[in-house]
């Protein structure tokens, strides 16, 4: 870990390691059974190098060893945390696979932990990816506001914002999704 003092930046002998991230396509954490998803292991600052990839995933004995993890026809058993390692382990991406008709609203929320002080927006969409207006948002089953809106904006996230979120549209609720908040000191350099 690099350390910064008043007039000097100290870098360990191995240098600053590259940051590893998992991206999810489609980019929301709630997926319906039967859909196809792709997770990608991206190494920031690692362009041009050859990496050996490793994945941790729920209910699998042989995850891929490439930078891409594609799952066709997902099922509820695919729900859980996914992590990859190229140079080092990524933060987990939580995937929630829903077994329903797919016509209800979907909460569009961050799949990675959000850093304290950062801003975040949550929205509600249909499977067609149409962003909805006239939506009610809930945090830990408590209604956040009485006026419907299209987006929930949190300008400076704090630890108290961590928890389960869901949205309601035309009397139908989305599944709950967990938003994790990490302290600034937990950030990768």
pLDDT tens-digit series, residues 110-119:
888 899 999 9
Least Cα distance to 86 among 20, 16, 15, 40 occurs for 20
- How many other CB atoms are there within 10 angstroms of residue 188's CB atom? 14
**pTM to 2 decimal places:** 0.57
pLDDT of 131 reads 77
pLDDT tens-digit series, residues 20-78:
888 888 776 668 788 888 998 888 876 777 888 899 888 777 788 888 999 888 888 88
Q: What would the mean pLDDT of 89-101 be, rounded to a whole number?
A: 80
Query: Is pLDDT above 50 for 178?
Result: yes
Higher pLDDT, 91 or 102: 91
Please give the CATH number for the structural domain made up of 1-99.
Answer: 2.60.40.10
**Domains 1-99 and 101-189 fall in the same CATH topology:** yes
Q: Would you list the domain boundaries of the chain?
A: 1-99, 101-189
Architecture of domain 101-189: Sandwich (2.60)
Question: At 164, is the pLDDT very low, low, confident or very high (cuts 50, 70, 90)?
Answer: very high
pLDDT of 1 reads 42
Question: At 181, is the pLDDT very low, low, confident or very high (cuts 50, 70, 90)?
Answer: very high
Residue 101 main-chain phi, psi, to 5 deg: -70, -10
- How many other CB atoms are there within 10 angstroms of residue 144's CB atom? 15
Q: C-alpha distances in angstroms, 88 versus 19, 40, 84?
A: 7, 15, 8
Structure tokens at 5: 């003092």
Higher pLDDT, 14 or 175: 175
Residue written as token pair 């997770």? 39
pLDDT of 12 reads 38
Q: What is the DSSP letter of 186?
A: G
Q: Are strands 120-125 and 151-154 parallel, antiparallel or unpaired?
A: antiparallel
Q: What would the mean pLDDT of 133-144 be, rounded to a whole number?
A: 92
């Amino acid at each position: 870990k690099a350390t910064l003092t008043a007039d000097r930046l100290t870098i360990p002998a191995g240098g600053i390691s590259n940051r590893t991230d998992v991206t999810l396509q489609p980019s929301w954490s709630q997926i319906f059974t039967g859909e196809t998803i792709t997770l990608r292991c991206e190494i920031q600052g690692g362009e041009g190098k050859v990496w050996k990839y490793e994945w941790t995933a729920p209910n699998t004995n042989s995850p891929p060893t490439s930078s891409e993890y594609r799952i066709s026809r997902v099922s509820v058993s695919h729900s859980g945390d996914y992590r990859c390692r190229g140079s080092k382990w990524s933060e987990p991406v939580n995937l929630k696979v829903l077994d329903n008709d797919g016509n209800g609203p979907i909460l569009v929320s961050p799949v990675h932990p959000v850093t304290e002080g950062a801003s975040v927006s949550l929205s509600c969409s249909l499977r067609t990816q149409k962003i909805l207006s006239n939506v009610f948002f809930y945090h830990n089953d408590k209604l956040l506001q009485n006026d419907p809106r299209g987006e929930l904006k949190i300008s400076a996230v704090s630890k108290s914002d961590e928890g389960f979120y869901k949205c309601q549209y035309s009397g139908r609720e989305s599944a709950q999704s967990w938003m994790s908040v990490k302290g600034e000191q937990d950030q990768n350099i």
